[in-house]
Amino acid sequence: MKALNFIRPLSLIVFLFVGHMAKAQEKGLLSELENEQIHAKQPKSSRARDGFGIQRITPQVGFSIAGVTGPNTGFKGSTGGFVGGATLDLGNRDFVFETGLLYRQAGASSGTFTLTADYLSVPLLAKFFINGSSAPASFFIRAGVMPSMLVRENVSVKFSGDSYNIRDAQLVNSFDLPGVVGLGSKFSAGSSTEFVISADLMRSLIKVNRGPGTVYHQGIALMSGVAILL
């Protein structure tokens, strides 16, 4: 009888403890499920990115206003051109590394002569989001270099009202290395997309002319695009 008197309250305590643990586990599972549902409803732009990887892919297009500078150039005017391609943001949160592939047109004009030089460029830029990369809207600044390979060169000559093109005039080197400083902004355009605008100043860090003297490309590029968040 004494043994039964001891076992009964002990069994009641064990029963209550097991029931309490089951309820606590059920609440924990419900809480995790609620957190997952809240996280799924958030746009990707507002989620924290803890791992190093691709944050966004941004196809973009725009135009450039380009010229040349240096003591040995007769080209004093500027030309307009196309710039476009796609870039990747690689990194963690607000500070990222931006790279990709761009097609850009540089050049200059002297009134009679117009030089156009088309390049394939790989931006190597450090980018910082001032308001945070996960904010729905944020400004950013960036700087770096853009190694570029010449793919086409053309000189247009105006004479007696007519225009003549000289392709592969070999006035510029096949490689250019412009330095880049720019700024821009992004705006949330949905759960997985952002609208991006930017403006960049570019200037060659090495001479671009084949002949004697020193001539450098310089200009500004204005671009816009839609970023795809990953």
**pLDDT at residue 146, rounded to an integer:** 98
What mean pLDDT value characterizes the chain?
Answer: 82
**pLDDT at residue 13, rounded to an integer:** 52
**pLDDT at residue 17, rounded to an integer:** 47
Provide the pLDDT confidence category of residue 30 given band limits of 50, 70 and 90.
very low
Q: Which of 154, 68, 62, 140 is nearest to 102 (CA)?
A: 62
45-83 per-position pLDDT tens digit: 444 445 568 899 999 999 999 998 887 677 778 889 999
Q: CA-to-CA distance for 12 and 18, rounded, in angstroms?
A: 10
Residues sharing a CB contact under 8 Å with residue 35, sequence separation 6 or more, in sequence order: none
Residues sharing a CB contact under 8 Å with residue 153, sequence separation 6 or more, in sequence order: 115, 116, 117, 118, 167, 168, 169, 170, 171, 172
Query: Which carries the bigger pLDDT value, residue 225 or residue 8?
Result: 225
- Report the CATH number of the 49-229 domain: 2.40.160.20
DSSP single-letter state for residue 160 = T
150-206 per-position pLDDT tens digit: 999 988 887 666 666 777 778 899 999 999 999 999 999 988 999 999 999 999 999
**pLDDT at residue 6, rounded to an integer:** 45
Greatest alpha-carbon pair distance for the chain in Å reads 125
For 108-137, what is the mean pLDDT? 92
DSSP collapsed to 3 states, 102-158: EEEEEEEECCCEEEEEEEEECCEEEEEECCCCCCCEEEEEEEEECCEEEEEEEEEEE
